[in-house]
Amino acid sequence: MDFPVSREGKPFLPDINDLHFNLSHSVGELAVAFSRNEVGFDIESKARRANYGDLARRFFDAAEARAVEEAGDSVREVFFRLWTAKEAVLKLEGTGISGGLQRALISSETSAELDGRPVFLGRVEWEGYAGAVASFQEIAQLRLRSLVL
């Protein structure tokens, strides 16, 4: 089934104004976030390997890159926490990574900014995967459900 998309490319449910969704996939896993408010969502496989410091210096602001560089043994965890939050924020507006990772500034585990506009964050994790949910409204609760086919 094809969903209509906004001009930025974000899919939406036609004729259903009070239910929003966003989806993400990584290394064999597909995840969908549903919300009564606009939502951005991203997951990443924790098994992905990269030079996290180089990527952070290239795509993150100076404070975020410094946090990755100073993370020591937790470098992968810190990198993916920031990366998934940044991508979820950009997917909230509908642009995704093409919107420019530098525009999404991550302040804490629960807050960010997109071009100066406040964004609320939530974290999700399950075996082998980490992710972030972003909303312009405060996130009251997150529930994780698994469906195996």
Q: State residue 83 phi and psi, 5-degree precision.
A: -60, -50
Q: State residue 146 phi and psi, 5-degree precision.
A: -115, 140
- The model carries a pTM of 0.89
CA distance 62 to 100: 15
pLDDT at 4 over 80: no
Q: What pLDDT score does 29 carry?
A: 86
pLDDT digits (tens, 9 = 90+) for 26-64: 988 888 999 999 999 999 998 888 899 999 999 999 999
Domains of the chain: 20-135 (3.90.470.20)
CB neighbourhood size of 1 (10 A): 2
- Kindly report which listed range (34-48, 106-120, 135-149) carries the lowest average pLDDT score: 135-149
Q: What pLDDT score does 109 carry?
A: 93
